[in-house]
Amino acid sequence: MPMLTQGARYTSATSIGLAEGWSLERLTPPSRLFGANGLRTGPDGRVYVAQVTGSQISALDVVTGALETISAKGGEIIAPDDVAFDSRGNLYATEVMDGRVSMRGADGVTRLLRDDLPCANGITVYQDRLFINECRIGGRLMELDPNGGAPRVLLENMAMPNAMEVGPDGLLYYPVMGTNDIWRIHPDGGEPERVVGDLGVPDSVKFDSEGWIVSTQVHTGEVLRIDPRSGERTVLATLNPGLDNCTFVGDRLFVSNFTGEITEILKHGETRTTLPGGLNWPLDLTVGDDGNLYVADGTYFYVLRPGAGLETLGMLFTPGYPGFLRGVTAVGGGEFIVTTSGGQVSRYRPASSESEVLADGLDQLYGVAVAPGGAVVAAELGTGRVLSIGSGKVEELAAGLNEPLGVAFGPGGSCLVSESGAGRIVEVTASGVDTVVDGLDKPQGILVRDGLLHIVDVGAKSLIAFDLDTKARHTLARDLPVGAPPGVTPKPLRGLPPFSGPQGPFAGIAAGPDGTLYVSADAEGSVLALRKAG
């Protein structure tokens, strides 16, 4: 059976416009989803897909391949991680970053049920009783009253429970990621019982038609079938790490991956791609001394070699991964300086699975660059500062900026910063900051090459070249798929400790040795290559 074809997650009424003599190539195809997290088969037989980073819920028809957005980015449901349905067709969603649970009624109206459930994640409905858990250290398992009554706590002090379901025996089964096992408890409460342990970091439990557990393993990429009576297990398939959830459509089994890939598990270990994966964002870009392009995509770090697709160099559950990656710059020899949403600046060596923290405890780091003298300079959006990190010290170079994001060094070693909230690019000097370019909308990634300052302006959806000598500016590309869709104001993503701090977009830019400009098309989830003829 051929792979189902889908539309992209972002559409525009206008095509990308290029300056004369420039061409554009998509090095990766646009993503269909903003990753794929919780899965649940709805009463209409479609698979409903929760997408944390996109604040979106989509319904996938696994027969036709049609995708429909049920709750869109900018809507009332924020960072949905898992979904469930009651007998009346109402959809319930956990909003993991905001600690909320919402109900989208069969009439399309959404109402908030609770907003005081930190890391609300796993959710299931049994005989129209609603159960949720909190995926955190010290998390709780609770039954919620959809009418607003106080939650009934079944268990406390759990080590990161996740997606759960009631089995044919009437017991509630739930995985615990922190202890690497699966447990069960009566929905009315009582003493929990361990079912099976020593797994591959289980993050979902569902049941097949024969009453066996099916569980995805986020760390190993295994899909396991487990006898709930004996704990005997069988590996149904081994996929890439980053599996999140699973669901059945009849007897057909589908699993999700953080990349947005939906895979059908067939017999004898065989699989079939139902929906291809892609980039969640992407965020910052850098070109190594090997000439290859490297992509920071939060949960994943990729390399894009000429003529090849994305190759994973590290992800959140691989050893030595620094954390949710946002800013990145190559420093040679296979090493990278990175910023994370958790507030770290680190030196990362993916080939040896090692990272070294250079600074910690910072507030919403974004772009990063290395000064001619070797100091690391990073933009700290949370405090409006530009920081220099070197010799174990953090020095403030500038303060009071309005959403600093991108960092680059110009001729003579001048430090340039995109001040997104002020719509300008500034130069950091010993006495403060001087405006270099103004009249922008929301500049993010910046790059200096051959005397030209290149600016990704996500507000104007344009790539601009500014001559640092003549001060002339030219638009190289317009109507780019960057930033939020027209008319949409995304809600803040507050992060998911311990995995990440606050998450936000960052359309990065890099240049290859041949002058190719690479841009993060974060709206559609692709990487663009722009080249000038000759």
| Phi–psi pair at 350, nearest 5 degrees | -60, -30
Of 505, 429, 524, 425, nearest to 466 by C-alpha is 425
Output the CA torsion 126→130→136→137 (10° steps). Answer: -80
Q: 381 pLDDT exceeds 50?
A: yes
pLDDT at position 7: 64
The predicted model gives 436-456 an average pLDDT of: 97
Token pair 């270099």: residue: 436
Handedness of CA 361, 326, 489, 434 (dihedral sign): positive
pLDDT at position 5: 43
- CATH topology assigned to domain 285-485+498-532: Neuraminidase (2.120.10)
pLDDT tens figures, 392-418: 899 999 999 999 999 999 988 999 999
Determine the 3-state secondary structure of 99 from DSSP: coil
The predicted model gives 452-477 an average pLDDT of: 97
Distance (Å, whole) CA 341 – CA 329 = 16
How far is CA 82 from each of CA 57, 410, 490, rounded to the nearest angstrom? 9, 46, 19
pLDDT at position 98: 95
pLDDT at position 486: 82
Of 438, 359, 375, 445, nearest to 404 by C-alpha is 445
Domain ranges of the chain: 32-275, 285-485+498-532
Token pair 């899965």: residue: 39
Determine the 3-state secondary structure of 343 from DSSP: coil
pLDDT tens figures, 120-131: 999 999 999 999
Amino acid identity of residue 112, one-letter, is L
pLDDT tens figures, 189-229: 999 999 999 999 999 999 999 999 999 999 999 999 999 99
Claim: this prediction has a pTM higher than 0.85: yes
How far is CA 376 from each of CA 290, 328, 338, rounded to the nearest angstrom? 21, 11, 10
pLDDT at position 487: 83
Q: 317 pLDDT exceeds 90?
A: no
Of 438, 446, 316, nearest to 369 by C-alpha is 446
pLDDT tens figures, 24-77: 999 999 999 999 999 999 999 999 999 999 999 999 999 998 999 999 999 999
Helical segments of 419-529, H only: none
Of 453, 326, 299, nearest to 381 by C-alpha is 326
Q: 334 pLDDT exceeds 80?
A: yes
Which residues is 456 bridged to in the sheet? 463
**Which tokens hold the place of 413?**
């070693």
pLDDT at position 497: 79
Query: In this structure, are strands 293-297 and 300-304 parallel, antiparallel, or unpaired?
Result: antiparallel
Determine the 3-state secondary structure of 526 from DSSP: strand
Give the CATH class of 32-275: mainly beta
Token pair 């770090």: residue: 301
Distance (Å, whole) CA 450 – CA 468 = 10
Q: Chain-wide mean pLDDT for the chain?
A: 95
pLDDT tens figures, 487-513: 888 888 998 877 888 999 999 999 999
Distance (Å, whole) CA 358 – CA 477 = 36
Where does the pLDDT of residue 307 fall: very low under 50, low under 70, confident under 90, or very high at 90 and above? confident
Amino acid identity of residue 19, one-letter, is A
- Asked if the domains at 32-275 and 285-485+498-532 fall in one CATH topology, the answer is no
Amino acid identity of residue 406, one-letter, is G
